[in-house]
Amino acid sequence: MTSPAAVVAADGTRLFGRFAARPTVVDPLAARSRVPRALRALRLKQWVGWTLVHPDWACSMILQDAGYLASAELYLARRSDGAAHGYAANASGGSLRLPLDLFAGRAEFSRGGFGLEYRFSRERGEHRISVDLAAHDDTPALVGELVLDARPAAASADLAVSARLPGGTLYTTKALFPVGGSLRLGDDEVVFDPGRDVAILDEHRSQLPYRTWWTWGTFAWHDEDGLVGANLATRPAVAGQEEECGLWSPGRCEPLTDVTFTPAPGADPLRPWTVAARDGRVDVVFTPEGHKDVDVQLGVVAMRYRQRYGRYRGALVTGGAVRTVADVPGVLEDMHARL
């Protein structure tokens, strides 16, 4: 589908499908409904997160608002020895105002020693991530700025999907950007090279069902002719609706469906996973190097979440070519929740 100006048309009709690019304005609450906007906002789960692909360090961060609670998190882990550092903070629900026009907006979370800011500029062709996180316990301060190359010639095509879910709706944007800059962790400086490293965007504005689950993985790298990667997911779906899966090659994002995730037998959180698409365009094995867990039990609200960082190996068929996936850094997560 061509890219509309907004995911909800002027007459209040929600548009569903796979778009050629992110609609300029993504506001699911603008859809025509008999339920007041304020009540629907309590069910809207919004986040903008990044996975940073670096050979020596694993890093993911997120700004999110679940309606009843807003939060921000970042973790950074050294791959050589698994030394990991986590930072997190909370705020009242509805206080995190993620821009509806994401690529021309700004999002910031600043609370009690936790400072994380995204500044997007479609006009300048760059996005910036500023990090200012105070030391706590035995975790050193983390500060720095990253610059993402958002010029059309450098960044990937968007993966932009609006879909119906059983008992809800989904909207997501995924995209790849070369990333430069640096983060200072105590005495360590983590330097990002835009000719080698990649920032993977994950934006969601979804009204998820109360009981929900998903498994998701992503990875990307610089191939000889540009950015290549994959966004892989499985969750309960409505027949005929688009899935949030896709394969990137330079200048393209190809639709993908019917992805399966199969963990090796056992309970080891670092056991490998096989990830495959039914049409054969994805056949990879993910080997974890470490993981971050969240386990929340608060009566009607509960969450069991694990994100693993590690490396993918295998093959993709994208852009008309078979591409070898040779120990490419990425993540794989699974979530089971009552939200």
DSSP letter for each residue of 72-97: EEEEEEETTT--EEEEEEEEETT---
- Residue whose C-alpha is closest to residue 173's, from 223, 105, 117: 105
Burial-class residue 295 by CB neighbours within 10 Å (0-12, 13-18, 19+): exposed
Domain membership flag for residue 9: no
77: phi then psi, degrees, rounded to nearest 5: -135, 135
Residue 65 structure tokens? 């608002």
pLDDT band of residue 296 (cuts 50, 70, 90) is: confident
Q: For residue 293, what are its two tokens?
A: 């867990």
* DSSP summary character for residue 158: P
pLDDT band, very low/low/confident/very high, at 194 (cuts 50, 70, 90): very high
Over pLDDT 70: what percentage of the chain?
A: 99
Window from 57-61, 301-305, 326-330 with minimum mean pLDDT? 301-305
The Cα–Cα gap between 67 and 289 comes to: 33
Residue 298 has pLDDT above 90, yes or no: no
DSSP three-state, residue 37: helix
- Between CA 158 and CA 282 the distance in angstroms is 19
Give the mean model confidence (pLDDT) for residues 253-266: 97
Q: Is the pLDDT of residue 115 over 80?
A: yes
| Residue 162, token pair as written in the block | 């609006």
Provide the token pair at 23: 């609609």
Residue 116: pLDDT band with limits 50, 70, 90: very high
Residue 233 has pLDDT above 80, yes or no: yes
C-beta separation of 297 from 289 below 8 A: no
Any domain includes 213: yes
Residue 107 lies in a domain: yes
Task: Assign residue 152 a region (left: φ > 0; alpha: ψ between -120 and 50; beta: otherwise).
Answer: alpha
Give yes or no for a contact between 46 and 72, defined as CB atoms under 8 angstroms apart: no
Three-state secondary structure readout of 196-222: CCEEEEEEEEEECCCEEEEEEEEEEEE
> pLDDT grade, residue 192 (50/70/90)?
very high
Residues paired with residue 115 on neighbouring β-strands, in sequence order: 110, 132
Number of folded domains in the chain?
A: 1
Residue reference for tokens 């304005």: 25
pLDDT, position 121: 98
Segment 320-324 shows an average pLDDT of: 95
pLDDT above 80 for 101: yes
Enclosing domain of residue 117: 17-338
Residue 55 has φ and ψ, to the nearest 5°, of -65, -30
Structure confidence at residue 128 (pLDDT): 98
In a domain, 6, yes or no: no
Whether 1 shows a pLDDT value over 90: the answer reads no
Q: Is residue 119 assigned to a domain? A: yes
Q: What mean pLDDT value characterizes the chain?
A: 95
Give a yes or no: residue 5 inside a domain: no
11 inside domain: no
66 within some domain? yes
Contacts of residue 296, defined as CB under 8 A and 6 or more positions apart, other chains included, come to: 302, 303
